[in-house]
Homo-oligomer: A and B are copies of this chain.
Amino acid sequence: MAEEKSTTQKAILVFKPTGQVVEVEVGTLLSDAAVQAGVALNLPCGGQGRCGRCRVKVEHGAISHRSGTRLTSAEMNEGWALGCQAVVKGDAVVFVPEQEQVEVEFATKTVGAERIALAAEFSGELDPSVRRAHVTIEPPSLEDQTTDWDRLLRELSLQHGFQNVTASLPMLRTLGRDLREADWNATAILEMGDPVQNPCAQPRLIDLLPGDQTDRCYGVAIDIGTTSNVVYLVDLARGKVLDRASAYSGQISAGEDVISRIIFSQKRDGLSRLQSMVLKTLNGLLEELSSRNQIPLRQISKAVVAGNTTMIQLFLAIDPTTIREMPFIPTISQSLPVTAEELGLNINPQATVDCLPIVGAYVGADITAGVVASGMADTDALTLFIDVGTNGEIVLGNRDWLITCACSAGPAFEGSGVRHGMRATAGAIEELWIDHRTFEPTYQTIGQLPARGICGSGMIGLLAEMFITGIVDKGGKIRRDLPTPRIRVGDHGGEYVVVWANQSGIGADIVINEVDIENLLRTKGAIYAGFSVLVQSVGLELADVEQVFIAGAFGQYINVEKAIQIGLLPDMPWDRFRYLGNTSALGAFYSLVSRPMRRHVLKVSKNMTYMELSADNTFYDQFMSALFLPHTDITAFPSVMRVLTQRE
């Protein structure tokens, strides 16, 4: 660097596409030159060369790179540079990409994992269990006094080949009137079940509509998360997601994690209150979808439901007590026949509500659905599937075998157990960088509002930055000797002020303290220990994992690099990571439109080997080792070692 400072030559810089021109001294930082030219480069990390958001392309002329962590050699050869790390060496033409484009780059390359969008259409062969049959029926006469039901059955058999059709009482109650009002010309909606799975499946009449309405047939795919519930409205005739709606679970007031909910369920009326809460949330979403898409609720003829084991049992009002007690036994492993009416779900009362199968007490239908939706059960590649929600569930395997475990990660990343933690809503800090010289943070909030707290991805970023900048040591303790007023001692030990009161949206300092950090370490440690034990248990190493799928709404916002830096994810090339989003809802959608997919979920649930971590000493050992930043064994994190070395 010394040689650059000694020059006093001037250089002319042209910034494209806007065309601003500026003259600066050779040796000036490109980002400083941009400021002089009135061009805004994005510097979330405060110009440390760590976030890669200030990338520009030098089209003519030369620059020198201080640091190139964020760029590949190929990119550097093409002229790409980081504004904050590029030093002006002479006249140059610099192209500043649009912010949007940088964001996309950031999302796919810089953060390290490909985001796979949810398929809103099902590409396989449509084969829903709900069928529509238009029938015209000879009206009864004194010569043929066959009953209404037998008469309908006769035509369903003659015109459509449906045999042994059954119906429940409420359908029969108005059948006579319905047939006559339809003038003996009607569309029967039938739930066929799956005769491949159960040869005894009998078609069941769930609705009778006047005239030919075979083109109108809908279903819903539901994901009941501990924190949020999602409903997809699906066109069963076309295998397409028409719309989505989501809301926080109404059960949050009864506890933030499944254990608190189970405890709540044991109170007087607790179970039925919990069921009412989830139904209220879901029925609200259904109402919203129905009115927005002008589809009557009664025309929603099926619901497929995914969710963790406790959420499924609470939805069905099946006592979940034994899920929490040793040896952790759920009541059912897969759905038995149940109608929307029995449950109180506000769709066609006779519609089947099909809850997808679970694996065990802590590996639920969200995971079986997710594994199928992710495609990991159809690939040869050794895949690690991680769903970090309120709990962490992990699956390892491929088309030949699947092994799974659950770690009670705790809801720290969902904002619970962390003083200023919050869910990913408006005002939450979702991204954050700390200047390693000044220890001043730069952050971004959801909705660009004054900060109100820190959500999961923000927490991962904050912890990683504190670690990389040396604010926190590998044991999670805050160094108190650093020259910044942001570090101080509070009620919970050392703390770091992320946002001063006068800039926050809550009128108080937003801080992170050592107790918060301890909780975050426990959460990330449990997850890391979980997949480590899984991999070990089959005699493999983490390096053998060919791809890592990150599922769950939370996963969508994780910065892979930072997650590696804190030791939440294994240190491996970023291109092995894939963000899949809400695979639980996706698996429910696939199961709704395709009986083969539904069978696939069942098969996966039966073939998945569940590993009970509480019965495993290895887990405890791994967990203890993972309670550090990034891990006791730093050699397992070479990329982090590199960054730390650079820092020093």
Question: Which residues of A pack against B, CB within 8 Å?
Answer: 140-142, 145-150, 164, 166-169, 172-177, 180, 198-202, 316-319, 321-322, 326-333, 336-338, 342-343, 360-361, 610, 612, 614-615
Contacts and interface: CB of A to CB of B under 8 A. Distances in A.
Contacts of A146: 329, 333
A168 B172 CA distance: 20
Contact of A615 (B142, B173, B201): B142
A173 B318 contact: yes
A177 B321 contact: yes
Nearest to A333: B147
Contacts of A318: 169, 172-173, 175-176
Contacts of A342: 168-169
B169 A327 contact: no
Contact of A142 (B149, B198, B202, B612): B612
A334 to B, nearest CB: 9
A176 B331 contact: yes
A326 B173 contact: no
Contacts of A149: 331-333, 336
Given A148-B330, A172-B318, A175-B331, 13 more contacts: A140-B329, A142-B614, A148-B332, A149-B331, A149-B333, A166-B336, A168-B342, A169-B316, A172-B332, A173-B316, A173-B317, A173-B319, A200-B200
Nearest to A166: B336
A338 B164 contact: no
Contact of A329 (B176, B326, B615): B176
A615 B322 CA distance: 65
A169 B329 contact: no
A175 B173 CA distance: 32
B200 A164 contact: yes
Q: What 6 pairs between A and B have smallest CB-CB spacing? A: A200-B200, A176-B322, A142-B615, A147-B333, A142-B327, A149-B332
B332 A147 contact: yes
A145 B329 contact: yes
A174 B326 contact: no
Contacts of A177: 319, 321
A141 B336 CA distance: 24
Contact of A141 (B168, B199, B327, B333): B327
A430 to B, nearest CB: 38
A470 B164 CA distance: 62
Nearest to A326: B142
A200 B202 CA distance: 8
Given A145-B610, A336-B166, A612-B145, A327 B140 contact: yes
A66 B322 CA distance: 89
A176 B327 CA distance: 13
A610 B145 CA distance: 9
Q: Most chain-B CB neighbours within 10 Å: which of A175, A180, A329?
A: A329
10 contacts: A142-B326, A142-B328, A142-B612, A145-B328, A149-B333, A164-B200, A169-B317, A169-B318, A169-B342, A176-B319
A367 to B, nearest CB: 15
Nearest to A171: B336
A336 B169 contact: yes
Nearest to A342: B169
A615 to B, nearest CB: 4
Contacts of A332: 147-150, 172
A344 to B, nearest CB: 11
Contacts of A331: 147-149, 172, 175-176
A592 B180 CA distance: 35
A175 B323 CA distance: 13
A361 B322 contact: no
A182 B180 CA distance: 52
A614 B141 CA distance: 12
A329 to B, nearest CB: 5
Nearest to A149: B332
Contact of A147 (B200, B316, B329): B329
Contacts of A615: 142
A167 B336 contact: yes
Nearest to A360: B145
Contacts of A169: 316-318, 336, 338, 342-343
Contacts of A330: 147-148
A352 B330 CA distance: 27
A237 to B, nearest CB: 28
A175 B201 CA distance: 24
B361 A145 contact: yes
Nearest to A139: B327
Contacts of A201: 200
A573 to B, nearest CB: 36
Contacts of A336: 149, 166-169, 172
Q: Most chain-B CB neighbours within 10 Å: which of A146, A147, A172, A180?
A: A147
A173 B174 CA distance: 30
A273 to B, nearest CB: 14
A330 B319 CA distance: 42
Contacts of A147: 329-333
A333 B145 contact: no
Nearest to A337: B166
B319 A148 contact: no
Contacts of A199: 200
Nearest to A275: B173
B327 A145 contact: yes
A140 B360 CA distance: 13
Contacts of A167: 336
